[in-house]
Amino acid sequence: MFYHVKELQYEAKPSCPDPVYAKKLQEVLGGQFGEITVMMQYLFQGFNCRADAKYRDLCLDIGTEEIAHVEMLATMIARLLDGAPVKEQEAAYASNPVLAAIMGDMNPQHAIVSGLGAMATDSAGYPWNAKYTIASGNLLADFRANLNAESQGRLQVVRLYEIADDPGVKDMLSFLIARDTAHQNQWKAAIAELEAREGDIVVPTTFPRELEKQAVAYDFYNLSRGEASSKGRWANGPSMDGRSVFQYVSQPVPYGPKPFLNPAPLYIHDTLLPMYKA
Amino acid sequence: MFYHVKELQYEAKPSCPDPVYAKKLQEVLGGQFGEITVMMQYLFQGFNCRADAKYRDLCLDIGTEEIAHVEMLATMIARLLDGAPVKEQEAAYASNPVLAAIMGDMNPQHAIVSGLGAMATDSAGYPWNAKYTIASGNLLADFRANLNAESQGRLQVVRLYEIADDPGVKDMLSFLIARDTAHQNQWKAAIAELEAREGDIVVPTTFPRELEKQAVAYDFYNLSRGEASSKGRWANGPSMDGRSVFQYVSQPVPYGPKPFLNPAPLYIHDTLLPMYKA
Amino acid sequence: MFYHVKELQYEAKPSCPDPVYAKKLQEVLGGQFGEITVMMQYLFQGFNCRADAKYRDLCLDIGTEEIAHVEMLATMIARLLDGAPVKEQEAAYASNPVLAAIMGDMNPQHAIVSGLGAMATDSAGYPWNAKYTIASGNLLADFRANLNAESQGRLQVVRLYEIADDPGVKDMLSFLIARDTAHQNQWKAAIAELEAREGDIVVPTTFPRELEKQAVAYDFYNLSRGEASSKGRWANGPSMDGRSVFQYVSQPVPYGPKPFLNPAPLYIHDTLLPMYKA
Amino acid sequence: MFYHVKELQYEAKPSCPDPVYAKKLQEVLGGQFGEITVMMQYLFQGFNCRADAKYRDLCLDIGTEEIAHVEMLATMIARLLDGAPVKEQEAAYASNPVLAAIMGDMNPQHAIVSGLGAMATDSAGYPWNAKYTIASGNLLADFRANLNAESQGRLQVVRLYEIADDPGVKDMLSFLIARDTAHQNQWKAAIAELEAREGDIVVPTTFPRELEKQAVAYDFYNLSRGEASSKGRWANGPSMDGRSVFQYVSQPVPYGPKPFLNPAPLYIHDTLLPMYKA
Amino acid sequence: MFYHVKELQYEAKPSCPDPVYAKKLQEVLGGQFGEITVMMQYLFQGFNCRADAKYRDLCLDIGTEEIAHVEMLATMIARLLDGAPVKEQEAAYASNPVLAAIMGDMNPQHAIVSGLGAMATDSAGYPWNAKYTIASGNLLADFRANLNAESQGRLQVVRLYEIADDPGVKDMLSFLIARDTAHQNQWKAAIAELEAREGDIVVPTTFPRELEKQAVAYDFYNLSRGEASSKGRWANGPSMDGRSVFQYVSQPVPYGPKPFLNPAPLYIHDTLLPMYKA
Amino acid sequence: MFYHVKELQYEAKPSCPDPVYAKKLQEVLGGQFGEITVMMQYLFQGFNCRADAKYRDLCLDIGTEEIAHVEMLATMIARLLDGAPVKEQEAAYASNPVLAAIMGDMNPQHAIVSGLGAMATDSAGYPWNAKYTIASGNLLADFRANLNAESQGRLQVVRLYEIADDPGVKDMLSFLIARDTAHQNQWKAAIAELEAREGDIVVPTTFPRELEKQAVAYDFYNLSRGEASSKGRWANGPSMDGRSVFQYVSQPVPYGPKPFLNPAPLYIHDTLLPMYKA
């Protein structure tokens, strides 16, 4: 069960409105790697957690913090939209073409649909959807998803920081960037702990290795002519799981035959082979 | 530019048709972490790559292999659908209720839409879409996405292996599981190489740390009452980036004030504050 | 069965082209609360109606009118796109930066995809989809959906009216606004009639009240610290269904215990509890 | 900012697993009118609220409660999936065709993707998306959306109650049904308060009525041949806003002319009129 | 503007309910090539038509007929759902496992969401969306889209006919199949007329041929090793537009060089080339 | 199985960066009729092909070429984004309002999400999805889909050519336009071959004509008042399949009765008829 306090986790106040920046900032609220994604991903991982209590708690602690980040970004976006001039008037713009240029790129839905409020969409106006998230029940897999989400997310916030001028915006982003630093460190720590405990790094660690086709389990196939790819760690030395050695296969060939599919039954009305026609 | 040879990378032939399993197998063809996802993700990372040639080659090599996996899974699904009885006839089923039970759960679109062919959808019939993929231009971020995709993907293939009986199906899956082992090892190796080269683990490593709010960059906030989450590596000891020490904040409080939003201009027709009404 | 006459329900002719306004106007054609939504919602409510003939007729009458509104908006948008300069030429714009600013924000799909025609998308280019609509079979529920759709719809048309300059556009919008006034009144009348007939306001009215957990059926839980929410009608006095009195619970507590989930079977390959590992 | 306590708002424990019911129950978790919808809708209305503090508080209080409902439903679904037999084995089913029938309809993603956990999708496996929600900035419009959501939501939970056998499931649903009763009453109270304060019922109440085409603002157009629709309150007597009288127009005619669209410029490559070809 | 008459274009009445068939029939109502698709596609082509009046009329005539097909299918589906037993009771099913098998595969949303009504979704429960349609402004292109839609549509209806037993269902489908025959013939006739008038078959016919890279305009590239593809009409003889001869290129090679992308500016935080790091 | 060579099929190099054009060019990469669509459509048609080997080969040859087109467009877009100024600085723009106007319309996701790389989305930022494609198993139907895709695709590329200034961009587009000419000719040739072989033009040709309602199989219904539609080939003369004569029905009437739907069972909680209430 959840409780709300009215104070924000961190101040979210721009020095002045900027509806075009509001449009861009939507990316880290409702985009593929925005705060709604991590909020929903961690909460569902926590709700579904069948493992040790401390992992459930970990997911719910960070997931609950992310709701506060959604709140901060929504507040910031609403304030960036304050008093946005929504009308494209030649008269008004004629004396200020720069303003015209900038206002012209406001997201029209911020005026028409949300009435100068934040939306659960990305910077292109595409709505958030649950396929951005994963809770697989396998925590090592999921913590890698989380580390990825925090990496992509921090990268996007940093890019937004770079294109911001407003000191209030930059201040809030510097808080979010720091929290993403914390979360990257924390998920990486949790991954290290699980890899150590499970004694393997290949997810899922519980599938018997002898059931996989071991002969190809460490091959690198050079399928893009030229061998630049042979220069990396992935093509040389012991495999990361410590069980074998990377093999660079310079000229890979197919193991299987040409496929042939049987004709469909008549009631399917696929294209017939001529012999069946007669 | 690409070339195709007609042989499959590995045989994809079931012992006998099984349209219900075909439906389930769609998950790892057209689902969130299916082969289309990794194919598109690695190819776009390669096409867009602005870094060293070997990383571009790495992405395109593995991406090109994944097209072959799409081909194998499509072939297997088409064969599992061979001669599927698409009609639910009480007469036919009365003598074989088990058959009725099983046939009843075939995906109807395999008969009506694709004419016993594979579709680019998941096991619930939801179409593949490009938001399953990421190519951010930052390879450390993206390789974490790749490691995650191979982890979730191998987990799903393993689960499908567990619920399969057909030796032909199991044989092909054991090949795919092994390739996912290879790819998890390879992306992990590439990550290690990049982390070493960039000298940091926090993505992006190029953002000046002094610009983030460093005071909160290693805090863990206990936002779910009870302290089970204090028992993990993420809450104790040096941070994973080696720059600080994890701080467990047992009773976190807000740093920001209560937000207040200004009323919208009249032409937006939001709800008015009563004082503005008069 | 349906018939079409070539005349529009109301004139849809701008004084001059304005491709940027065309982009914005798409919101009330193909957006979440645009005319396609109400057209499809009312028609499906009518087609599926299992209640009195007059309600079926009501839905089909208004639904049929909405097809005409789709036609008017599509016509208006096509005309706003007349002769749109689709090329961003520095030369052309240098002498007229205001034009450049404005033209720059045209929806490129209006040129590339639809060839200066209207599209069934919203102002961000997001396609209309059927999840915008509901036909539940329970008319009291659905008429509330309709009243909501007409409220959101009229609000959006009013906002578009406020940012329009073209007298032809304003004239057509003033017609649509008036029709939304009519429809809000009509759905509200239908709601009042049904509430009176069913003798209750809580949908569905046919579920035995003794089967719900009556002890909590009129509580208001103050879950956001501070008691501003206690000042409203929803927290004081008799409930709107006349069956009880609103209770404001100042410090709500959980009724349930902490959840604990059983470990998954081994074949699922979720994360194992350590005790299971041994 | 938000806090979590580990106790559930209400117990969420079935008597025994039932993976098919788990699939159905997803509808009210991640469906169009499920708990995620109301959670996100109310929270965003609160975050964006520019009106009186008590309305902001109202939205955030109920929105925070809805997070707890998401938690309860996710917990219940995970438990219904406990130990689900995910394999369709003829041998196992031959002796129990009823079991076969029931297990056959489990959502395969509950095994393959979520590892026996809840997903943020509906009962057809379609992912939740943000277009299910609205926060328009106009509270009278939005509270009508909320009343609709609680009406559709309670209707769906009631239907799920009717098809449930498990006493634990029924007990939790009776709690949710009661809370939907409370919320329908509360939103209805808030609507009544706002309608009274704004002095009108037509959203938005702030648009000058003289700017709409008043001649058609109370007409009902009989566009579906036959006059069953004339029998309702919507076609007779004073309009609900008290400003006019409903007019039933038995044989409505178009007010506008036939539209004609100008040919597109040559560079658009639309179909040419023959005269332009020469 | 549109009018409705209450009679159906053709009877839509099954002999008895069949909720599983109702689920399947949804495909040709709300699926990719269902009746909603052709209805919306033809109506928008008509509304946007800038060519001769007879083409506009053609689109609107057939588009208006398709609304009636939507109505017929919705009616049929609602009737197939009549009295559907929505509850999976072991007791009830124990004596009739066949019934259990069949009922188990009903779409749960037909009970929970639509209350035994048709939905604007396909047979997998995926909602109709506007990207299924095209109205490009180029009628030759669009009539090819229409011919395709009628071809895929008739194919799907035929497959549904093959798996139907109910004489009422088969009767209605035989009507729809015949109408699809008519529409395939009609669009093919319109295509022939336009090809003759425009004097070319390559869309758009108005683009100057000398501006395209004519050297490759009739090549067939054999990119899948083996030359089975050389046996078809597409690889031999005069091209269909009568302007050249098909060339079969047995061993195609790239015309372009290896691409190299410049590094991104620092503020983008892409992966850096090592030389830039120093 | 597939192989990649690093050379592009054709050069993809603009003379200078143009991020706004990059946004527009996305349409033919990741849009409804972009290169990803034809790539996936032809590959899946090939993988699923149950007909003669030459048709399978045809699909895979062209499908494999389309992967190269995806690669070319991605490369071009990445280069158009080279060094894009992502910051909207009043200072920078004040001296160059034209630049401001143009830069203002860059897709923000090209900076924030993809780091100056191509995305698998269209020009509005909407992600590619698999419902853009069809592989029905009936090749005559599918080749019509392919002809349509190449027609819409060439039309869009031509429109993009018309609005381009950059000689490098125009050069690459002139190559793609020529390949679309080739593919339109090739699919048209394949259609002609199949129509001749199957001896009919109505898809599917294998359904017995006597099972369709032949009386209406050649009627044209004039459902849009006025008879402009009687002037076309579709309304006069022999039908295109040579089996009948087109009939123009000037005043079409319904063949079916008014529908009436039975009330739903009580446990569905639809609206009740009053007689059932008592």
CATH of the domain at D225: 3.30.1530.10
CA–CA min distance C98, chain D (Å): 23
In a domain, E10, yes or no: no
Question: A91 pLDDT band (50/70/90 cuts)?
Answer: low
Q: Which of A138, A165, A198 is the last residue of a domain?
A: A198
DSSP-based three-state secondary structure for A182: helix
- Tell me if E9 is assigned to some domain: no
| pLDDT band per the 50, 70, 90 thresholds, residue E278 | very low
Query: Contact partners of F by the rule of 3+ C-beta pairs under 8 A?
Result: A, B, C, D, E
Q: Which of A200-204, B100-104, D269-273, E60-64 has the lowest mean pLDDT?
A: B100-104
Overall pTM surpassing 0.80 (yes/no) = yes
> Which of C6, C88, C193 to mutate to test binding with chain F, by most F CBs within 10 Å of its CB?
C88
Average pLDDT on F121-139 reads: 98
User: Which of C112, C194, C202, C212 should we substitute to test contact with F (largest number of F Cβ atoms within 10 Å)?
Assistant: C112
Q: Is the pLDDT of residue C177 over 50?
A: yes
Amino acid (one-letter) located at F110? H
**Cis amide leading into B204 (omega within 30):** yes
Q: Please state, in angstroms and rounded to a whole number, the distance separating the CA atoms of residues C34 and D215.
A: 23
Kindly determine whether residue D267 and residue F155, on different chains, have CB atoms separated by under 8 Å.
no
- For residues E37 and E133, state if they share a domain: yes
Q: Positive or negative CA dihedral for C195, C201, C202, C205?
A: negative
Structural domain count of chain F: 2
Least CB–CB distance from C44: residue in E40, E64, E118: E118
Partner-chain contact A115 D129, CB within 8 Å: no
Between the alpha carbon of residue C37 and those of residues C218, D130, E44, E75, the distances in Å are 34, 16, 15, 20
Cα B156 to its chain centre, rounded Å, is 10
Predicted local confidence at residue A97, as pLDDT: 53
Mean pLDDT of chain F: 93
Percent over 90 (pLDDT), chain E: 89
Q: Which of D5, D104, D107 is facing B225, going by the closest CB pair?
A: D5
Please give the Cα distance from B71 to B81 (Å, whole number).
16
Band of residue E97 on the pLDDT scale cut at 50, 70, 90: low
Identify which of E61, E111, E202 has the shortest CB distance to residue F181: E202
- Amino acid B278: pLDDT: 42
Only one residue has tokens 């599927």, namely B84
Whether D193 and D227 share a structural domain: no
In the predicted structure, residue C184 carries a pLDDT above the cut 60? yes
Q: Kindly indicate the confidence band of residue F83, based on its pLDDT and cuts at 50, 70 and 90.
A: confident
Assess whether C166 and C236 both reside in one domain.
Answer: no
Q: Enumerate residue ranges in chain D where pLDDT < 50.
A: 278
**Do F48 and B9 make contact, defined as CB atoms within 8 angstroms?**
no
pLDDT of residue A278: 42
Please determine, for residue C99, whether its predicted confidence score (pLDDT) is greater than 90. Answer: no
Q: Tell me if E223 and B97 make a contact (CB, 8 A cut-off).
A: no
**Are residues A184 and A232 both part of a single domain?**
no
Name the domain boundary from F165, F198, F231: F198
3-state class (DSSP) for residue B120: coil
- Reported as a single tens digit per residue, the pLDDT across E195-226 is 999 999 999 999 999 999 999 999 999 999 99
Tell whether F56 and F157 lie within a shared domain: yes
* C-beta atoms of E269 and A163 within 8 A: no
Residue D11 lies in a domain: no
In sequence order, the 6+-apart residues with CB closer than 8 A to the CB of A83 are A17, B262, B264, B265
Check residue D278 and give its pLDDT: 42
At E88, the pLDDT band (50, 70, 90 cuts) reads low
Q: Which of B184, B146, B182, B148 is nearest to B44 (CA)?
A: B146
Q: For residues F192 and F213, state if they share a domain.
A: no
The tokens for D255 are 């007010």
Average pLDDT over residues A11-37: 96
Instruction: Tell whether B222 and B170 lie within a shared domain.
Output: no
The complex's ipTM? 0.94
Q: Output the pLDDT for position C278.
A: 42
Alpha-helical (H) ranges within F113-269 are 139-162, 167-198
β-pairing, A219-221 vs A247-249, is parallel
Who among F47, F71, F114 is closest to B136 (CB)?
F114
The single residue listed with the structure tokens 């239907």 is: D159
H-helix or E-strand spanning residue F267: none
- Calculate the CA F60 to chain-centre distance: 19
CA distance C185 to D218: 8
C175 contacts D217 by C-beta, under 8 angstroms: no
Alpha-carbon distance B97 to nearest alpha carbon in chain E (angstroms): 6
Task: Pick from C79-93, E13-27, E260-274 the range whose average pLDDT is largest.
Answer: E13-27
Residue C195 CB neighbours (<10 A): 17
pLDDT of residue B86: 63
C143 with C62, same domain: the answer is yes
Chain B CB contacts of E126 under 8 Å are 125-127
Is the pLDDT reported for residue F185 higher than 60? yes
Mean pLDDT of A185-208: 97
Residue F148 belongs to a domain: yes
Distance of alpha carbon A254 from alpha carbon A260, whole angstroms: 16
Judge whether residue E89 has pLDDT over 80: no
Give the per-residue pLDDT at E95: 55
Residue of F nearest to A163 (CA): F87
Q: Which two tokens stand for residue D169?
A: 């499931």
Among F198, F220, F241, the domain boundary falls at: F198
Residues A220 and A182 in one domain: no
Q: Does residue A238 share a domain with residue A183?
A: no
Residue F8 lies in a domain: no
Given a cut of 80, is residue B96 above it in pLDDT?
no
pLDDT at E105: 78
The answer to the question of residue C12 being in a domain is no
Residue C105 maps to which CATH number? Answer: 1.20.1260.10
Q: Are the CB atoms for E123 and B109 separated by under 8 Å?
A: yes
Averaged over C119-136, what is the pLDDT? 98
Q: Which residue has the higher pLDDT, E276 or A47?
A: A47
Max intra-chain CA distance, chain D: 80
Instruction: Say whether D98 sits in a helix, a strand or coil.
Output: helix
Q: DSSP letters of E167-234?
A: HHHHHHHHHHHHHHHHHHHHHHHHHHHHHHHHT-SSSSTTS-GGGS-GGGTTEEE--BSSSGGGGSGG
How does the average pLDDT of chain B come out, rounded?
A: 93
Instruction: Tell me if E87 is assigned to some domain.
Output: yes
Q: What is the pLDDT of residue C103?
A: 57
Confidence of residue B234 (pLDDT cuts 50, 70, 90): very high
Residue C272 confidence (pLDDT): 81
Find the chain A residues whose C-beta atoms sit closer than 8 A to any C-beta of F: 20-21, 23-24, 27-28, 31-32, 97-98, 100-102, 104-105, 122-126, 155-156, 159-160, 162-163, 165, 223-226, 254, 261-264, 266, 268-274, 277
Contact A178 B267 (CB under 8 A): no
pLDDT of F246 above 70: yes
Same domain, E188 and E223: no
Q: Which residue has the tokens 């095994």?
A: D111
Nearest chain D residue to C126, by CA: D131
In-domain check, residue C13: no
Residues A85 and A193 in one domain: yes
Query: Domain range holding E56?
Result: 19-198
